[in-house]
Structure 1
Amino acid sequence: MASVASRQPFFAAETRFYAITAIVMATINVAAFSFFAAMGISTFHAPLYVHIHAVLFMGWVLLFVLQVSLAATGSLAVHRKLGWVAGCWAVAMVAVGTLTTVWTVQKAGVPFFFLPAQFLVMNPLSVLLFAGLLIFGVIKRRDREWHPRLIICGMAAI
């Protein structure tokens, strides 16, 4: 008697949208900053605080994709434990992101496509929006409808 192997998708149907969205967002993020590096806008000669900012924010992209993938594959226990790391990571991002913005404006290193005043206001606001959406995401962590939406929107804010 032959048995038929059923094809099980890697991501569950109800979480596939979030997993694909996370991968697309991460790909766009990495591609954009790679483009900046190729154009010479971003450089390894930047001050140390810029590198700390880059490590934190790119680390967040990896952590974000990992968290969404864990949830999408049903590894909820690991997802929940790693969620505490993500929360602490996000707090560091808010502090470092805001300080990096202020220091960059002080050193007249604002990207060419921003006016300094725009950069000084909009960057911290986007980081605070990120933090607010993440906080609400944590509050709604048991709500399978709202939690992933809030976290995805938080990622979109930065």
Structure 2
Amino acid sequence: MTTLIDDRRVRARDASPARYFYLHMSLACAATAFLGFAPTYWVPLANRTLSASPVIHFHGLLFFTWSVYFVIQIWLAASGRVANHRSLGIVGVSLATAMTIFGFLASVHVMKHSAALGQQDAGIGFSIVPMSGIAFFAVVFVLAIMNTRKPEIHKRLLLLAAVSLLDAPIARWFMTFLAPPGPPGPPPVSVTIAPAVVASLLLVVAIVRDWRTEGRVHPVYIYGTLALLALKVLNWPISETAAWHAFAGGILALAQ
């Protein structure tokens, strides 16, 4: 009975054209993720020219599944199927957990690959980008789960978590069209800042929407966007410290 009442309240609150805003945002996230990885993953995979380890393939499968799952969950909520949305929540928890684990494993794999190319220090330095990225996603996702009974916070945290993953696919387009030719290996950490800023433009859209419809910007967007951009900028100087090289180098040593 309580669930039925809650569902009716959600339907009443979302009974406006703006209820599909988050669905459109989830579709934008999914499209960005797919198109971003198209030149370096999906097209080579379709042409059978891609050579990658099982860890990378499973990592890609999990993250692509997340994009589809995110769209489905937002669609269920937007169409008033809140009970179904909640029932699928456990799937999201399992998926996010697997993403966190394989995101970490993929980071270690990239470090090992860089070491095999004779670029161990560069690989250790760059590892801060995927490791901090998946850690940010995991923390924000946990906060979203903790706020499932507060929809205004919950949905904004999930959008923040989704956007936080988009710097990787956007960076693939930077690499494809802007990167100068050179030997294979990890790029400098500094070049990851621009893709993160581009990805954050989706949060700017959400901020503008809040301002126009609510008359104010929700704190999740203010503090979340600032935290995300600060993380991406701070990755650069931290990646060059002895402390990070000792930490990530220790992980690499255990994995070899």
Same fold (TM > 0.5): yes
Letter in 2 for 1:79: H
Match for residue 143 of structure 1 among 141, 144, 150: 150
1:128 matched residue in structure 2: 135
Q: 1:106 is matched by which residue type in structure 2?
A: K
Where structure 1 has 5 or more consecutive residues not aligned to the other structure, the ranges are 1-10
1:102 and 1:35 map into 2 onto residues whose CA distance is 23
Instruction: Quote how far apart the aligned CAs of 1:15 are.
Output: 2.4
Structure 1 contact 101–119 (Cα < 8 Å) conserved: no
Matched letter for residue 21 of structure 1: M
2:36 to 27, 32, 36: 32
- Whichever residue aligns with residue 29 of structure 1, its letter is A
Greater percentage in helix: 2
Shift of 1:47: 0.9
Query: In the alignment, which residue of structure 2 is the partner of 1:5?
Result: none
C-alpha distance after superposition, 1:79-138 (max 9, x if no partner) = 10111111011001000101111111111289xxxx524431111111111111111111
Verify the 8 A CA contact 2:44 2:50 in the aligned structure 1. no
Q: Percent identity?
A: 27
Report the CA distance shift for 1:14/1:99 in structure 2 as closer, same or farther (over 3 A): same
Q: CA deviation at 1:39?
A: 7.7
Quick check: 1:107 aligned with 2:113? yes
8 A contact 2:147–2:154 mirrored in 1: yes
User: For residues 20-74 of structure 1, what are the alpha-carbon distances to aligned partners after superposition, in whole Å with 9 as ceiling and x for unaligned?
Assistant: 1000111011001112237859x53211111110111111111111111111111
1:157 maps to: 164
> Are 2:29 and 1:15 equivalent residues in the alignment?
no
Length-normalised TM-score, structure 2: 0.52
Judge which range, 100-109 or 132-141, deviates more: 100-109
Alignment of 1:47-86 (within 5 A): 47-86=53-92
Conservation of the 8 A alpha-carbon contact between 1:98 and 1:127? yes
8 Å Cα contact 1:133-1:154 kept in structure 2:
yes
Report the TM-score when normalising by structure 1.
0.82
| Structure 1 vs Structure 2 CA RMSD | 2.4
The 3-state SS of whatever aligns with 1:45 is coil
Where in structure 1 do 4 or more consecutive aligned residues deviate above 4 Å? Answer: 38-41
Please state how far the C-alpha of 1:157 moved relative to its aligned partner: 1.2
Which residues of structure 2 form unaligned runs of 5+?
1-14, 166-256
1:57 counterpart letter in structure 2: F
The count of corresponding residues between Structure 1 and Structure 2 is: 144
Secondary structure of the residue that 2:151 maps to in structure 1?
coil
8 Å Cα contact 1:19-1:69 kept in structure 2: yes
Partners of 1:12 and 1:72 within 8 A in 2: no
3-state SS of paired residue (1:145): helix
User: Considering only CA atoms, is the larger Rg found in Structure 1 or Structure 2?
Assistant: 2
